[in-house]
């Protein structure tokens, strides 16, 4: 069982989450034995994999925690869908933005993943509420849809709060698609209701991978005032 973190550790955790979600990437140190890690200060026999939102901080720790170290850029997609699930399987903890404090935060990887997902949805809502626009991918057949990773019998509509996020996904099966701008009012009153009527899901600021965010349209719609 993890010990309850102190207030400074909570603040450090929350800053890491906000920065990682905003920049959509973090940094780690990769060495001969994988991602750099240290023995837990609190839990005998467990290790803490160190992650940073600032490249220079990762560089300062590189020679301390790895042999033949290299700075590894980890996208938010890879963090949520690959790195954190792997840490959970290996029973390792995550150490966000470690510095020189005597006791640094040590987080359960699954808990960190869930907090990051909530921050991603919050960020999506904030950006869309400010711009009054949502972006999707479409071709002549209609919008891009995916089979839900969590519920294989349901479809999922990916959408994004930034055109660049949407266009970054053009390629492969979606090579002929184009990004389209949907006014928030139309998205909330038409698109989300269309999904709800079919029992489908929505993926705000959708990422590639089995642990991408999937929520009910009504839940997302309730966050907007339109």
**CATH second-level architecture of 7-108?**
3-Layer(aba) Sandwich (3.40)
Residue 206 pLDDT more than 70? yes
Got the DSSP string for 95-146? Answer: EET--S-SS---EEHHHHHHHHHHHHHHHHHHHHHHH-EEEEEEETTEE--E
Q: How many CB atoms within 10 Å of residue 89? A: 9
Nearest residue to 123 (alpha-carbon basis) of 3, 23, 6, 225: 23
Report domain extents, the chain: 7-108, 132-221
Distance CA 136, CA 203 (A): 11
DSSP H or E stretch at residue 156? strand 155-159
Confidence label for 7 from pLDDT (cuts 50, 70 and 90)? confident
Backbone φ, ψ for residue 78 (5° rounding): -65, -35
Do the two domains 7-108 and 132-221 of this chain adopt the same fold?
A: yes
Q: For a pLDDT cut of 90, what percent of the chain falls above it?
A: 82
Nearest residue to 96 (alpha-carbon basis) of 53, 43, 42: 53
pTM of the predicted structure, to 2 decimals: 0.88
Nearest residue to 94 (alpha-carbon basis) of 110, 81, 78: 110
**CATH second-level architecture of 132-221?**
3-Layer(aba) Sandwich (3.40)
Query: How far from 70 is each of 63, 158, 214, CA to CA, in Å?
Result: 9, 34, 34
pLDDT digits (tens, 9 = 90+) for 44-84: 899 999 999 999 999 999 999 999 999 999 999 999 999 99
Q: What is the mean pLDDT of the chain?
A: 93
Query: Would you state the pLDDT for residue 200?
Result: 98
Burial bucket for residue 180 (CB in 10 Å: 0-12, 13-18, 19+): middle
Least confident piece of the model among 15-24, 85-94, 202-211? 202-211
Distance CA 40, CA 47 (A): 5
Residue 138 pLDDT more than 80? yes
Query: Would you state the pLDDT for residue 209?
Result: 81
Give how far the C-alpha of residue 104 lies from the chain's centroid of Cα atoms, to the nearest Å.
22
Residue 101 pLDDT more than 80? no
Which residues lie closer than 8 Å to 53 by C-beta, 6 or more apart?
15, 16, 19, 20, 23, 26, 27, 96, 97
């Amino acid at each position: 069982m993890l010990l309850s973190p102190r207030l400074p550790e909570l603040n450090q955790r929350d800053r890491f989450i906000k920065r990682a979600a905003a920049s959509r990437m973090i940094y780690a140190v990769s060495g001969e034995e994988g991602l750099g890690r240290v023995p837990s200060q609190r839990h005998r026999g467990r290790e803490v994999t160190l992650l940073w939102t600032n490249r220079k901080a990762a560089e300062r720790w590189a020679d301390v925690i790895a042999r033949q170290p290299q700075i590894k850029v980890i996208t938010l997609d890879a963090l949520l869908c690959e790195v954190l699930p792997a840490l959970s399987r290996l029973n390792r903890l995550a150490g966000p933005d470690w510095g020189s404090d005597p006791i640094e935060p040590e987080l359960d990887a699954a808990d960190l993943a869930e907090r990051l997902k909530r921050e991603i949805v919050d960020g999506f809502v904030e950006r869309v509420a400010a711009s009054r626009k949502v972006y999707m991918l479409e071709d002549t057949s209609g919008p891009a849809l995916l089979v839900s990773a969590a519920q294989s019998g349901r479809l999922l509509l990916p959408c994004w709060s930034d055109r660049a996020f949407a266009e970054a996904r053009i390629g492969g099966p979606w090579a002929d698609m184009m990004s389209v701008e949907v006014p928030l009012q139309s998205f909330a009153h038409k698109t989300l209701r269309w999904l709800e009527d079919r029992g489908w899901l929505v993926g705000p600021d959708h990422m590639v991978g089995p642990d991408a965010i999937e929520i009910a349209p009504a839940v997302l719609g309730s966050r907007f005032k339109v």
